[in-house]
Amino acid sequence: MKRVDRKSESENSIVKIGNSLIGNGELTVVAGPCAVESEMQLYQTACHIKKLGVQILRGGAFKPRTSPYSFKGLGLEGLKILQSVGKETGLSVITEVMNVRDVERVVRYADALQIGSRNMHNFSLLTEVGKSKKPVVLKRGLCATIEEWLCAAEYILLEGNSNVILCERGIRTFETYTRNTMDISAIPAVKNLSHLPIIVDPSHAGGRRELVAPLAKAALAAGADGIMVEVHPNPEEALSDGAQSLDFMEFSRLMEQMSAANVMLKHIG
Amino acid sequence: MKRVDRKSESENSIVKIGNSLIGNGELTVVAGPCAVESEMQLYQTACHIKKLGVQILRGGAFKPRTSPYSFKGLGLEGLKILQSVGKETGLSVITEVMNVRDVERVVRYADALQIGSRNMHNFSLLTEVGKSKKPVVLKRGLCATIEEWLCAAEYILLEGNSNVILCERGIRTFETYTRNTMDISAIPAVKNLSHLPIIVDPSHAGGRRELVAPLAKAALAAGADGIMVEVHPNPEEALSDGAQSLDFMEFSRLMEQMSAANVMLKHIG
Amino acid sequence: MKRVDRKSESENSIVKIGNSLIGNGELTVVAGPCAVESEMQLYQTACHIKKLGVQILRGGAFKPRTSPYSFKGLGLEGLKILQSVGKETGLSVITEVMNVRDVERVVRYADALQIGSRNMHNFSLLTEVGKSKKPVVLKRGLCATIEEWLCAAEYILLEGNSNVILCERGIRTFETYTRNTMDISAIPAVKNLSHLPIIVDPSHAGGRRELVAPLAKAALAAGADGIMVEVHPNPEEALSDGAQSLDFMEFSRLMEQMSAANVMLKHIG
Amino acid sequence: MKRVDRKSESENSIVKIGNSLIGNGELTVVAGPCAVESEMQLYQTACHIKKLGVQILRGGAFKPRTSPYSFKGLGLEGLKILQSVGKETGLSVITEVMNVRDVERVVRYADALQIGSRNMHNFSLLTEVGKSKKPVVLKRGLCATIEEWLCAAEYILLEGNSNVILCERGIRTFETYTRNTMDISAIPAVKNLSHLPIIVDPSHAGGRRELVAPLAKAALAAGADGIMVEVHPNPEEALSDGAQSLDFMEFSRLMEQMSAANVMLKHIG
């Protein structure tokens, strides 16, 4: 590894998505539904999170699903809704890209791209998003070591795109209470090994609504640059990942806690 | 799951690669180098394995590598060498495809396609090889459950390609003596759950030359339909995976053992 | 490590339990119920397995149970039944010891001691059974590396007891179809690293009746010195581990397969 | 499970060690060397931590070691030093017990007992410490699920000792950068499932000095009742676990951070 190495760059990298800076010492919050389901659902969510100070909206148009019979997202229609809601609300939008052939298209509709954990080792896709200059949120593979994750980021940087944000989303272990095991030590480990910013996804990591707040606070305390959280107007009716999505009231409460925690942690350093 | 289910098809599926039938009760051996390095290297290997009765030659032209700085294969040149050596020796050839954009091309050069473990969750690629009608060897993901692996196969069958062979190649655990942990129970489990044939790759599973023979014999005894083994004229000089490749003498010895074991296990049933 | 090392002893060690030799190139079969439940249950089982040529009877009197509310075995009464049935049938008996305070007592009733996987790191217990000279079957810890397992054996040898038989019983992984993942590569690995004999427990490893035969055959093919199998007159009514216990007919069928496989594998070498 | 269940007791349990209350909403810090090496080493450490407000001193007299050739602690002499230093400095002392035969003795010398992760499934030992009424710190097994861990605690409560404190110390995964993977989600999970207090051991979890502070802060943010940290006058010369031990200056800095974080988190709730 060269480009991702802390040795190659002693200053922390700052990645810009729209007007937000990730990695500048402030806590960034990315929020939104797992999947874009309708204009109404996304618009309501966008308005709510914006009101709370969030600047980046997430929403999946192409959903990687273990079973081919699960809801796979609205595709191009989802991208259009995302872009339109982003413009109306002034939020930047981020969405996953799964196919090298979709990169060009997704780049036109979104402000940042996401590589999901199942594609962390999809080297063709890494190379393709490296050729675009859009910011990329690179999720850690289900079973990837930190070193392999950084190697995956290197594929992107090698093509000239250094706007990479790492995202810890839990690794697979034998524990069954949680969906995955959030590797909290990955945060300080990445900070030691690399100059890239790192955020966490407590929704996927824990897989349970009630774990989102404690995991988010822990990530912040461990030095994460941000969190990405699933929010849905009505989690019970979500087409995917309802069990781990927060409703609006829960998200409001989380934001209060995050903001208080953020202020405090700055005192400590 | 529907199409891959044992319930949907009580007869074992038989997949044809060239003139070889996989899943018909005979043990199939696929052999060859990890990567195609040169015409000479591949031709020597092909002649040796053919002499021992092997009918399918493997060799990577596109190599998935954790680090972008490792040898990534000869690409198109590798495909051409593979096809040419296949024709000269009368062997069928199988090679990995990593990029949806390469599928069409690889289909022209090879008799069967391989999806590597890092791409088991690359749903775009699964769909693309499903649209071709070429036989597909689908390796289990590094960290995939058996159920997820079968779901990945379902993506291929769903497009109309039922020529799928599953390949167990070891899962990731905390054990460090071996490269991966070969999940021997996956063989009878797959036989219970699905009608698809299953082979194993003892070279990648163990990551050590001396483990290939015992793991191959174990797989046969557990009911595998075949094995895929790495063979190289000079493993010490291999550009990838030398530590787990057999040289020609070691491979000859393995084939004797396999053939004896095969005869015997048929008596037992 | 010193005493367990292959380097310290190039000849394979042979351990004697009653009149049986483990590690001499023949396949040893240990069979019996998970737990001793009654004299009748054990006697019937003993008669059946003896008729099929088995010489060592297993049966738990002290059962390690995750929950304190599960059946924990008959204790001293179980030991007495075990000894009495052993004498009547001429079988050697092996049983688990969990408490350092029980070692002296268990030594009086049994021909061999078993250390369960949950106690592999119970160093006081290892030392205590090392002081006795009884043969010890040392199960691999749920999550132990091969090196740690050999270190645990070293604790026993260090006290002067070199009658140690290693037993692979599956390790914990993320896979949920099987109870544990039988690490088949542990067999050749142990053979490379140590002179001690190694057997496997396909019943606990797979946790499913239908997996016992394929796993047992695989273990034999990979070079195991023996297998330990759970047999119960009526698995549906077993007080523990019924799902993985064979009934008498299933066990008879297994023995036929083992014996045929054994003959055959000797030809191959 | 009954006694450990949140359902059986809606109030959080508070466990008293000496004059300290664990689980009352304040952050408890336990600190000291991995192993008691000498009176001087322990006394210096005790004075330093006391000065910073710590009230409980840890120090191992009996050390569980993977290899029998590693330093196994000073044994009885270590217990005596621990007791004597505790009296001189007014600190409560906690130490590990590994052998059922040592429980009575350790109970005389220490204010609280520790069950190490290797003994979490040592049911005899759990029962024995359950019979004493001393507070018990029960570490999670290397590979134990949260449910199994709570079952282990149930063994202790069942004997009448409800003074149990759970301690998360990292689980075993495939990641190699850290010694273990600290399961941060275990903290809120335990709080949901049980009324028992939970602390973490960031020293063993990460296995690296530089990870102690971020992991400790994360644990606090996730709701832990305390932390247990390894401190040594001269980590480079420690007889065990030097790489993860803090020196006095590093520990002072940690305490400042903890105390600030503690104040802050109370505001947030």
Chain D residues with CB under 8 Å of C100 CB are: 99-101, 124
Q: What is the DSSP letter of B13?
A: P
How far is the CA of D158 from the CAs of C91, D111, D121, D126, D153, in angstroms?
38, 21, 15, 10, 9
Residue of B nearest to D172 (CA): B174
Place A245 in a pLDDT band, splitting at 50, 70 and 90: very high
User: How high is the pLDDT of residue D242?
Assistant: 87
Q: Are A175 and D171 in contact (CB under 8 A)?
A: yes
Q: Are C240 and C203 in contact (CB under 8 A)?
A: no
* pLDDT exceeds 90 at position D267: no
What are A10-66's pLDDT values in tens digits? Answer: 899 999 999 999 999 999 999 999 999 999 999 999 999 999 999 999 999 999 999
Chain segment D212-258, per-residue pLDDT in tens: 999 999 999 999 999 999 999 999 999 988 899 999 999 999 999 99
Question: What's the Cα-to-Cα distance from B70 to each of A1, B63, B142, C68, rounded to whole Å?
Answer: 11, 9, 19, 53
What are the backbone angles phi and psi of residue C267, rounded to the nearest 5°? -65, -35
Q: How many Å apart are CA C119 and CA C113, to the nearest integer?
A: 13
Residue C1 lies in a domain: no
Question: Contact C101/D100, CB-based, under 8 Å?
Answer: yes
**Domain span including residue A171:** 28-268
Report the distance separating Cα A31 and Cα D255, nearest Å: 34
Q: What does DSSP assign to residue D220? A: H
Bridge partners (DSSP) of residue C194 are C5
Which partners does chain A have (≥3 C-beta pairs < 8 Å)? B, C, D
Are residues A70 and B155 in contact, defined by beta-carbon separation less than 8 angstroms?
Answer: no
Provide the mean pLDDT of chain B.
95
Reply yes or no on whether the pLDDT at B265 is more than 80. no
In a domain, B267, yes or no: no
Contact at CB, C221 and B261, closer than 8 angstroms: yes
Lowest mean pLDDT among A204-208, B261-265, C169-173, D138-142: B261-265
Q: Do B189 and C182 touch (CB under 8 A)?
A: no
Predicted confidence at residue A3, as pLDDT, reads 95
Helices (H), B118-247: 123-131, 146-158, 186-193, 202-206, 209-222
- Mutant choice from B123, B142, B148, B180 vs A, greatest count of A C-beta within 10 A: B123
Structurally, chain C folds into a number of domains equal to 1
Kind and range of the H or E run holding C48: helix C39-51
Instruction: Check whether D8 has a pLDDT greater than 60.
Output: yes
Work out the pLDDT band at C269, boundaries 50, 70, 90.
low
pLDDT digits (tens, 9 = 90+) for C183-230: 999 999 999 999 999 999 999 999 999 999 999 999 999 999 999 999
Q: For a pLDDT cut of 70, what percent of chain B falls above it?
A: 98
Which band of pLDDT confidence, cut at 50, 70 and 90, is reported for residue B241?
Answer: confident
pLDDT of residue D240: 86
**Joined tokens for residue C197:** 């004999």
Predicted structure pTM score: 0.96
Interface of A with D (CB under 8 A): 143, 145-147, 171, 173-178, 181-185, 187-189, 192-193, 205-206, 210-211, 214-215, 217-223, 257, 260-261, 264-265, 267-269
Work out the pLDDT band at B269, boundaries 50, 70, 90: low
CB contact under 8 A, B123 and A64: yes
**B20-22 and B15-17 strand pairing:** antiparallel
What's the half-sphere exposure (Cβ side, CA atoms, 13 Å) at D249?
1
| D228: CB partners within 8 A, 6+ apart | D29, D30, D31, D58, D137, D167, D199, D200, D201, D203
Quote the pLDDT of residue A237.
Answer: 92
Which pLDDT value is given to residue C1? Answer: 66
Per the structure block, which two tokens stand in for D234?
A: 């001269």
Give the rounded percent of residues in chain B with a pLDDT score beyond 90.
Answer: 91
Q: Please, are residues B92 and B86 in contact by the beta-carbon 8 Å criterion?
A: yes
Q: How many CB atoms lie within 10 A of CB D127?
A: 18
When pLDDT is averaged across residues A170-179 and rounded to a whole number, the result is 96
Tell if the CB–CB gap between B188 and C214 is shorter than 8 Å.
yes
Q: What is the longest distance spanned by two Cα atoms in chain C?
A: 50
Taking CA C245 as the corner, what is the angle to CA C239 and CA C248, rounded to the nearest 5 degrees? 110
- Residues B93, B75: contact at Cβ < 8 Å? no
Length of chain D: 269
**Stretch C26-38: mean pLDDT, rounded?**
96
CB atoms within 10 A of CB D176: 11
pLDDT confidence of C242, banded at 50, 70, 90?
A: confident
Neighbours of chain D (3+ CB pairs under 8 A): A, B, C
User: In Å, how far is B124's CA from the nearest CA of chain A?
Assistant: 6
What are the chain A neighbours of C144 within 8 Å (beta carbons)? Answer: none
Joined together, the tokens standing for residue D128 give 């024995």
Question: Residue B124 phi/psi, 5° resolution?
Answer: -60, -45
For position D56, which CATH number holds?
A: 3.20.20.70
D28 is written with which tokens?
């408890």
Instruction: Please give the pLDDT value at position A9.
Output: 87
Let me know if residue D226 belongs to a domain. Answer: yes
Report chain A's mean pLDDT, rounded to a whole number: 95
> How many contacts, defined by CB atoms under 8 Å, are there between A and D?
131
Interface test with D, best of C62, C124, C139 (most D CBs within 10 A): C124
Give domain status of residue B130, yes or no: yes
Interface test with A, best of D1, D175, D256, D265 (most A CBs within 10 A): D175
| B210 part of a folded domain | yes
Give ∠ CA B211-C25-C224 in degrees, rounded to 5: 40
To the nearest whole percent, how much of chain D has pLDDT over 70? 98
- Reduced to 3 states (helix: H, G, I; strand: E, B; else coil), residue D165 is strand
Q: How many CB pairs under 8 A join A and B?
A: 68
The structure tokens listed for B9 are 């098809």
Sorting pLDDT into bands at 50, 70 and 90, what band is B267? low
User: What's the CA gap between D189 and D191, in Å, rounded?
Assistant: 5
Interval D37-50 mean pLDDT: 98
Specify the range with the lowest mean pLDDT, choosing from A1-10, B195-204, C209-218.
Answer: A1-10
- Segment B128-143 mean pLDDT: 97
Q: What is the pLDDT of residue A268?
A: 65
**Among chain D residues, CA nearest to B171:** D174
pLDDT for residue B51 is more than 80: yes
**Is residue D75 included in any domain, yes or no?**
yes
Neighbours of chain B (3+ CB pairs under 8 A): A, C, D
| pLDDT, tens digit (0-9, with 9 covering 90-100), for C247-268 | 999 999 999 999 887 777 776 6
ipTM: 0.95
Q: Give the least confident one: A175-189, C195-209, D167-181, D250-264.
A: D250-264
More confident residue, D8 or A96: A96
Chain A residues whose C-beta is within 8 A of a chain B C-beta are 1-2, 64-69, 98-101, 118-119, 121-125, 141-143, 148, 151, 154-155, 158, 172
Domain contains A16: no
B190: in domain: yes
Å between D245 CA and nearest CA of chain A: 17
